[in-house]
Structure 1
Amino acid sequence: MRRVRYESRGGPLFLEEVPLPEPGPGELLVRAEAIGVTLPVVRKVTEADEPVPLGGEIAGEVVAVGEGVSDFGTGDRVTGLCLGHGYADHALLHEAMTSPVPADASAVDAVALVRSGLVALGALEAARPEPGEAALVTAAASGVGHLALQLARTRGAGRVVGAVSDPAKAGFVRGLGADHVIMYGDTGWGTPVDYVLDAVGGELLTPALHALVPEGRLVAYSSGGGTIQAYDLLVGAKSVIGFQMARVARGKPEVYERWREELWRLFAAGELRPVVHGQFALEDAAKAHGEIEGRSNLGKVVLIPG
């Protein structure tokens, strides 16, 4: 089978031929039909000291199952998080990290919706939103951000603000339901909001905190790092809440499943619309990473192995 790999920090990415893996206990071997590209994986290629497997969300058809697998069989259409080599024709999924794909949804729908949607919904849950509150979503045109913006509206946000890096993204974000769109470099971010869902981190944490009303909440779920001055929290009695999807997936499987069901329900009802920015062949993985690195994507970037 074909698999994308790299040998040193920064790449380049290349295709190699490797044997088909065998599913171990609790694992499924899936013929991948769509593979989601995420910022954390892109950052691993550019920042990790040693090469790591390119994992992430995949969707496709189960072709073999390992010992102990009870909920899935060959021929099932599934999606899930691949912790190993996910940029490949075939990939291994752990049963606990796998869910079925509805008959009326495509593999591309699944990778655009489920993992990014789980992060978006989890960050929103961490903010403890109340009906009528104002929300601000950074990276609002990203694979996660464009879903977070829509989810805030479904949870009753009275005003939704999207923050983006480029004015060219403003129309896209407004089309998803944002009442206002701001640029990262704007002086002041307008009328304060009750909570911020931040996927950027770094230098953006300070203006995000300043955008909150007194007692407002900032949910940080970025891998971009950053620091906050304690005084900025004290002066307005504001809160910063860290959110990591992996902790929920490992420690609260019942919550993880409930969130997945909610995402598919909203999708079926037309209340949540995952947008795919581009579909790239497996051999064009470097181009797909370039879309993420250049912050040019509007929605999800997807690899199509076939």
Structure 2
Amino acid sequence: MLRIRHEVNGGPEVLFAEEAAVPAPGARELLVRVEAIGVTLPTVRKVREGGGPVSFGGEIAGRVTATGPGVTAYAVGDRVTGLCFTDAYAEYAVLNTATASRIPDGATAVEAVALVRSGLVARGAHGAARVEPGESVLVTAAASGVGSLALQYARAGGAGRVVAAVSSDAKADFVRSLGADEVIRYDDADWGGPYDVILDGVGGDLLGPAVRALATGGRLVAYSSGGGTVEAYELLLRGASMIGFQMRAVALGKPDLYARWLRELWQLRDAGTLRPAVHAEIPLAEAARAHALIEQRRNLGKVVLVP
């Protein structure tokens, strides 16, 4: 099978394709013939900034071809999606049943990859912020796979004002089409606050101005891999709070909640409330091109690799 790897850290140019043996599923695992792979900013960052080679994790979708010991809820032939922690950039991947879910009839693998993982993160961040009807919400990385769905969640949840933060004016029409009332750029001197809620998918140096844009009693939910630091005094000054959210903790630690959110996602998709946006479908062998799109912040929605 074809698999994408890297041996040294760097930009997209360090990625290469190789032939590898098809893996075997272990206990409570599924072997999936992959039809779509989601490319994420955390994975792109690990390739450039990590301490050495990392196995590509990411969301996948496809059809089960084998099951490991202890698997009772899935069978060969089932169409599934979920988060794969190792070797996701491949024609076959091993998926733990704890993060797996079925793809409904009528949905494509690409749509599942664009909706499920990003939608779960958007849903979780929105819930962690305890957004109340009428409140103002700022979403950073608003044109990303997660951000584009977070905008729609904020609008569907009754936010009184939804603002999208993006890296360039070229993304303004896209985020407005998803429900943003206003659009700001990260380098704007005035972020248009204060905001009751900020959902941050960027991190790093943006955390400072984000906290300063919070209203009294505001909540900043950080769900990116970008790190960064916050001055405690800035939170104290506003009586504000900062909350960290990680989807993996929910998937592995709260399976009932994870399952409920999954059902809700597909219901909102069926109702037309959530519209997953796909920027491009790129052949697996051209993974470097997909990483370049993410790294250069040129994507409008999800970037998907297709074996």
TM superposition score normalised by structure 1: 0.98
Which residue, out of 69, 72, 88, partners 2:71? 69
Q: Which residue number in structure 1 is paired with residue 41 of structure 2?
A: 39
Q: Which residue number in structure 1 is paired with residue 140 of structure 2?
A: 138
Counterpart residue type for residue 27 of structure 1: E
Q: Confirm or deny that 1:286 pairs with 2:302.
A: no
Q: Which residue number in structure 2 is paired with residue 3 of structure 1?
A: 3
Q: How does 1:150-229 map to 2 (within 5 A)?
A: 150-229=152-231
Q: Which residue number in structure 2 is paired with residue 267 of structure 1?
A: 269
Q: Deviations over 1:256-300 (max 9, x none)?
A: 111111111100111000000011101100000000000000000
Cα distance in 2 for residues equivalent to 1:73 and 1:191: 51
Q: Deviations over 1:13-44 (max 9, x none)?
A: 11111111111111110000000000111111
Q: Which residue number in structure 1 is paired with residue 22 of structure 2?
A: 20
Aligned residues: CA RMSD: 0.9
Cα distance in 1 for residues equivalent to 2:192 and 2:85: 41
Structure 1 position 95, deviation (Å): 0.9
Cα distance in 1 for residues equivalent to 2:233 and 2:49: 32
Q: Which residue number in structure 1 is paired with residue 242 of structure 2?
A: 240
Q: Deviations over 1:159-194 (max 9, x none)?
A: 100000101101100011100000101111114221
Cα distance in 2 for residues equivalent to 1:236 and 1:59: 43
- Would you say how many aligned residue pairs link Structure 1 and Structure 2? 305
Q: Confirm or deny that 1:113 pairs with 2:123.
A: no
Cα distance in 2 for residues equivalent to 1:152 and 1:42: 27
Cα distance in 2 for residues equivalent to 1:210 and 1:48: 30
Cα distance in 2 for residues equivalent to 1:230 and 1:97: 35
Structure 1 position 12, deviation (Å): 1.3
Structure 1 position 231, deviation (Å): 1.5
Identity %: 63
Counterpart residue type for residue 144 of structure 1: V
Cα distance in 2 for residues equivalent to 1:88 and 1:201: 29
Q: Confirm or deny that 1:100 pairs with 2:105.
A: no
Runs of 4+ in 1 over 3 A off after TM superposition: none
Cα distance in 2 for residues equivalent to 1:191 and 1:197: 13
Matched position secondary structure for 1:28:
strand
Cα distance in 1 for residues equivalent to 2:288 and 2:95: 24
Counterpart residue type for residue 102 of structure 2: P
Q: Deviations over 1:43-92 (max 9, x none)?
A: 11111122111110000011111111111101110001111100001100
Cα distance in 2 for residues equivalent to 1:94 and 1:70: 13
More divergent stretch after superposition (184-193 vs 66-75): 184-193
TM superposition score normalised by structure 2: 0.98
Counterpart residue type for residue 178 of structure 1: A
Which residue, out of 78, 89, 92, partners 1:90? 92
Cα distance in 2 for residues equivalent to 1:133 and 1:61: 42
Unaligned runs of 5+ in 1: none
Q: Deviations over 1:211-261 (max 9, x none)?
A: 221011111111111111122111111111111111111211111111111
Which residue, out of 256, 259, 283, partners 1:257? 259
Cα distance in 2 for residues equivalent to 1:50 and 1:213: 41
Cα distance in 2 for residues equivalent to 1:226 and 1:48: 16
Matched position secondary structure for 2:179:
coil
Cα distance in 2 for residues equivalent to 1:187 and 1:48: 32
